[in-house]
Structure 1
Amino acid sequence: MNASPPAKLFAGIAAKNPSLFRRVRVTLGDPAAWIEIDGKATALVRDLEMDRVRSLSHADQVLCPADCVPDGGLDPDRETATAQAVAEFFRRQQVRSVSVDRTLPYIFAWHLRDADIEVQYDPEMGVFDRRQKSEEEIDALAEAQAVTESVMQLVCEKIAMAGVGADGTLKIDATDLTSERVRAIAAEQFLFRNYSMAHGAIVASAPQVADCHHSGSGPLRTGVPIVVDLFPTNNVTHYCGDCTRTVVHGQPSDTVIQMHSAVVAAKRAAIEKLRVGFTGQDVHRASESVLIDAGYKSSRGQLTDQPSIQHGTGHGIGLEVHEPILLDEGGGALLEREVFTVEPGLYGRHDGGVRIEDMLVVRDGQAQNLNRLHEGLNWT
């Protein structure tokens, strides 16, 4: 028997697995597999999906489980049959060792081992290649961010131009403007644009915004900063937008104006470091040092009454809203064409929160900012 050729396997449900979807390019709800051997790719999918995968993916060949039936036959269960067919494919190719990524369902590993095929876990597989985006992927992210900004502008202006009740609550058509209502408006707007808010959205104000990931609930009020964070997914390309802006209806307090000024400066400092030759940690420390120099403290894991730093500076983005690596302590070297959000923020129960978030592409020189929307507090 010849030496085993190097082999890689991605498998599962493409509709739920971005690494697999990135290869088959079809939102498959049935089990599928993507196999790479010596630079050639094979997609193994349900028979009625073969034509779509042939036309949309870059697979060298497209098979179905019926093309790889082991001696004992295929199980009637679709997922089991796919795992059996994958193991049989490798057996016919005389592959004795397969590298797999972190998302591989155990059923595939079990059938590979049952066929005496070694399963080797590669922690960087399906991670490193997704970090460095193609120009086509960057275009898809730019489109997603542009759509996100269009909805952001609409909802921030609606908040800023709402009426005010006697108790200071915001009103539209004589009814309370709530966090839930703003999210519903955003969801409807994204639906019109063929985007979904599967992961929700944040429309939060004091005191809830002291927890920086609180989605927000209840009536919104004049004079208080409202953090709006929208992160939809394109229903066709599956690439994500992610943008945060802060809006104040009426006049912000001096404290909020100072918070906003510090956050804007922190974002600017982070972007200066977002380039090849620096690390995610460098970016975070540049941002955080500006906030600390302005008099704010880091209070991670502990909510505070006064404004404080609650999180890192940003994260990778692509087919998922949050992807490696983090712009935070321990964040590694930046790669050309990585795409990140940069989103410094300050949060407290008493004065509320301020966060501003842009999406940027790492380039050899200055980072490319995919945002165009202004970052101020006034949206009238």
Structure 2
Amino acid sequence: MEKLIYANTEKSPDMLYFAKMNIPDAVFAFTHKGKKYAICSPLEIGRARKESDFDGIYPSNGSDFDTLLEIFSNLKISEAEVPNSFPSGMFLKLKKAGLKIKVSGGDFFPERRIKSEAEISEIKKANDAASASFERVWQIFRESSIENGFLKWNGKFLTSEILKFEIELQCLKMGAESKNTIAACADQACDPHCEGYGKIRANELCVFDIFPRLKSSGYFGDMTRTFLKGEPNCAQIKLVESVKKAQENAISEIKAGKRADLIHKNVSSFFEKNGYKTDFDGNGWRGFFHSTGHGIGLEVHEEPRLGLAKNTLKSGEVVTVEPGLYYKGVGGCRIEDNVLVLQNGCQKLSNFHYDWVVK
């Protein structure tokens, strides 16, 4: 059965994977006898012929829908498979026109899970942008002074908003954009997706989760580090050391053929044995209550998941490894890197030091 997509590349990683070029407005693209085709307007057709991965480009006759029906009729295509993100209105319109449409039950392009050398290189580049941003945060923390329990930088109180701006600016300099950056301090970081707000406290754990997307190719990196400016207490030291050890343990287990849920369960067990209980205290979860990691590529979260699902890792997949612990009053800590799954282990695709106390 031939495949059919109707989307732009900003919202559809499948379309970006299929086209290998940025397309701002939704277009039809489809397969036919092992080759790839698209219908493009006059605005896009010249660029698509130069830049895209399509084997052929059809010009639109003014109505992409009518053009598609005419092409399918000429090629004798009467049925097609579409991704589960396919627009419902267009789905109904095609069915009404007499096409047999099947919605994909899983990954539309399962081959996206296995990364090529070129894709691996792009993920490394995206992580380079994250690493440069961590270096910028580290520099700002070093330059900051402590005043009445808060950090001051360049004569102003340092805030999450300032840090996110500096991170996003650094990513732009590296050819990437970083949306929804996390710079969360103290108890804010105990909500793992809280982006952070307000003044940065001294002697408190600050979680920075940076996931840049390369503007040229759309590939993501995803790294997290936890910093503290000042003097950590014993509870904070134990928390960070436990998270780092859990990450090391998990990375050491990753290889082709390994079940991801067993890696996740071992991380949970390690935390439990070290006195870190996971439970719901009436106000929210505390402990380790998210997955150990996830796939990454043209989406920041994609398959496979390193959680409770029984995924078997395959050589060529790229996954994050990001255990974390979160206890209000102590703070949150998460440490995250990306690794390439290999036949007998894994290769790290992200690089920044793990020093966390900034003097």
Paired residue for 1:145? 127
The match for 2:26 is 31
Q: 1:294 aligns with which of 274, 278, 300?
A: 274
In the alignment, structure 1 segments of 5+ residues that lack a partner are: 1-5, 67-73, 75-80
Aligned to 2:88: 106
Equivalent residue for 2:306, pick from 308, 327, 332: 327
Q: For the structure 1 residues 303 and 297, does the alpha-carbon distance in structure 2 shift closer, same or farther, using more than 3 Å as the test?
A: farther
Give yes or no for contact 1:133–1:337 (8 Å, CA) kept in 2. Answer: yes
Distance 1:261 1:125 in 2: 37
For 2:317, the equivalent position in structure 1 comes to 338
User: 1:379 Cα deviation (Å)?
Assistant: 4.0
Distance apart, 1:304 and its partner CA: 5.6
Residue 298 (structure 1) shift:
2.1
Asked if residue 180 in structure 1 is aligned to residue 171 in structure 2, the reply is no
Q: CA deviation at 1:88?
A: 2.6
Secondary structure of the 1:207 match is helix
Residue 357 of structure 2 is matched in structure 1 by 378
Give 2:136's match in structure 1, choosing from 145, 154, 159. Answer: 154
User: 1:12-91 maps to which residues of 2 (within 5 A)?
Assistant: 12-66=7-61, 81-91=63-73
Secondary structure at 1:362 match in 2: strand
1: CA distance between counterparts of 2:358 and 2:204? 14
CA contact under 8 A between 1:232 and 1:240: conserved in structure 2? yes
State the shift of 1:229 in Å: 0.8
Q: Say whether the 8 Å CA contact 1:300–1:311 is kept in structure 2.
A: no
1:127 Cα deviation from its structure 2 partner: 4.7
Give me the TM-score of the superposition, normalised by structure 2: 0.95
- Whether the 8 Å contact between 1:298 and 1:309 is mirrored in structure 2 is yes
Contact 1:304/1:348, CA 8 A, preserved across alignment: no
Segment of structure 1 superposing worse, 211-220 or 290-299: 290-299
Q: Does 1:368 align with 2:347?
A: yes
Aligned residues: 359
**CA displacement at 1:27 relative to structure 2:** 1.6
| Identity level (%) | 29
Residues 322, 300 of structure 1: alpha-carbon distance in 2 compared, 3 angstrom cutoff: farther
CA contact (8 A) 2:127 2:351 kept: no
Deviation of the 1:51 alpha carbon: 2.3
Contact 1:15 1:28 (C-alpha < 8 Å) held by counterparts: yes
Query: TM-score under structure 1 normalisation?
Result: 0.90
TM-aligned CA deviation for residue 354 of structure 1? 0.9
Q: Does residue 239 of structure 1 match 2:219?
A: yes
Matched, 1:256 2:236: yes
Q: Is the 8 A contact 2:186 2:201 kept in 1?
A: no
The one-letter amino acid paired with 2:343 is D
- 273-282 or 356-365: bigger deviation: 273-282
Structure 2 Cα separation of the partners of residues 120 and 371 of structure 1: 39
**Pairwise CA distance, 1:313:** 0.6
Q: Is the CA contact 1:161–1:249 (under 8 Å) kept in the aligned structure 2?
A: no
Structure 2 residue matching 1:295: 3-state secondary structure: coil
| Deviation (angstroms), 1:15 | 2.4
CA distance in structure 2 between the aligned counterparts of 1:303 and 1:335, rounded to whole angstroms = 39
Shift of 1:245: 0.4
Unmatched 5+ stretches in structure 2: none
